[in-house]
Amino acid sequence: MKDLRNFTYEDLAQEVKVLEEKPYRALQIYSWVFRFGVTSIDAMTDISKASREKLKELFFIGGDGAVKVITSSDGTRKFLSGFSDGLSVESVLIPGEDRLTLCVSSQAGCALRCAFCVTGKTGFSRNLTLSELSSQVLSARAILSPNERVTNVVLMGMGEPLLNYDNVIKFINILTDSRAFGFSHNKVTLSTAGIIPGIKRLGEDAKINLAVSINATDDKTRGDIMPVNAKYPLKELISALKDYPLANKRFITIEYVLLKSVNDGEGRAVELARLLRGIRCKINLIPFNGWQGARFETPDERDVTRFADVLRRAGYETFIRFSKGADVGAACGQLSGSFGKGFAGAQSAAFQAETL
């Protein structure tokens, strides 16, 4: 049996041909699955009963749906999706003034082991399938109240999306296909720790927004907190960003996690401004979100503001992203893939917030 949520339109067209079904069946099925999000083949009412029976012998519609939802005091909702092999990932719905952003996970666990991120602690389990990626969007929809709509999707949850390239690029195509999820390209953002070959491929394959976690201004500091820097050092990363094909009026987002006394000094801000010269970018500063056992601290507000001021004076559009959802372990770097562990992280974050 094959899961229909694992099929791109092109793959489905191939299957339909083999089944000797009319070519338009592919579009019908594809729209039912991704546009209307049906959970049974019987719900595809414009397909004859006989054809549906034939389909049911070969296909099913995957996605166990959200297993559990938890809501933060700031309105951020985190949900856990469990998969048939016992693994689970978390996704986050983040409300904004004029938007509702869905943060999607791309892998169960993560192999990169960034020292400040709790996902890396659990290690890497496996890549998510196209069905598991798409199901996060459909589960989010199922959770929303009737007057709500996801406006933006960010691939910034658990995992490194560019290390699950093939499924992620199919997912991006489905996200931005008006016959499927129908998000415009500029409402979708992929965040990477700096996998250079993946950045190059993405530049050729997709027109979505790119975010890159720079997090440090020299190889020594970056290598200490992001082991991936040994393979893809800063200089090469920066040069890949300079070469990245950007459409008119579009920017690369540079993410910089601020860790107290590690990378939050004024001198570092000056270095960052210099490093990024020549890249059309805006900068998101993310003050460290705590979790139990972390060896880092959240920077002082004064240092965060000073860091931002240096960058703004150097001409960079700079935002300070106080992550939402910290009280339920839903903030950047707090996703562990299990609500049990998430709660432990959440408690420490809430505790930290109280004691600051």
Residues of this chain that bind ligand SAH (CB under 6 A): 116-117, 156, 160, 191-193, 213, 215, 255, 257, 286, 288-289, 332-333
For the beta carbon of residue 322, count every other beta carbon within 10 angstroms: 15
The nearest distance, CB 140 to ligand SAH, in angstroms, is: 18
The nearest distance, CB 159 to ligand SAH, in angstroms, is: 6
Residue with tokens 């290390």, as numbered in its chain: 163
Residue 22 contacts by C-beta under 8 Å, 6 or more apart in sequence? 16
The nearest distance, CB 225 to ligand SAH, in angstroms, is: 9
Nearest Cα neighbor of 31 from 226, 177, 214 is 177
Is 332 a residue of the active site?
yes
CB 277 within 8 A of CB 316: no
Which one of 15, 57, 90, 236 is the catalytic residue? Answer: 90
CB 73 within 8 A of CB 92: no
Q: Would you say 47 or 349 has its CB closer to ligand SAH?
A: 349
The nearest distance, CB 333 to ligand SAH, in angstroms, is: 2
Q: Would you say 44 or 259 has its CB closer to ligand SAH?
A: 259
CB 260 within 8 A of CB 298: yes
Q: Would you say 288 or 316 has its CB closer to ligand SAH?
A: 288
CB 287 within 8 A of CB 116: no
Which one of 103, 110, 114, 332 is the catalytic residue? Answer: 332
Residue 114 contacts by C-beta under 8 Å, 6 or more apart in sequence? 120, 193, 213, 215, 225, 226, 227, 228, 333
Residue nearest ligand SAH (C-beta atom) = 333
Q: Would you say 4 or 114 has its CB closer to ligand SAH?
A: 114
Is 90 a residue of the active site?
yes
- Catalytic residue IDs: 90, 332
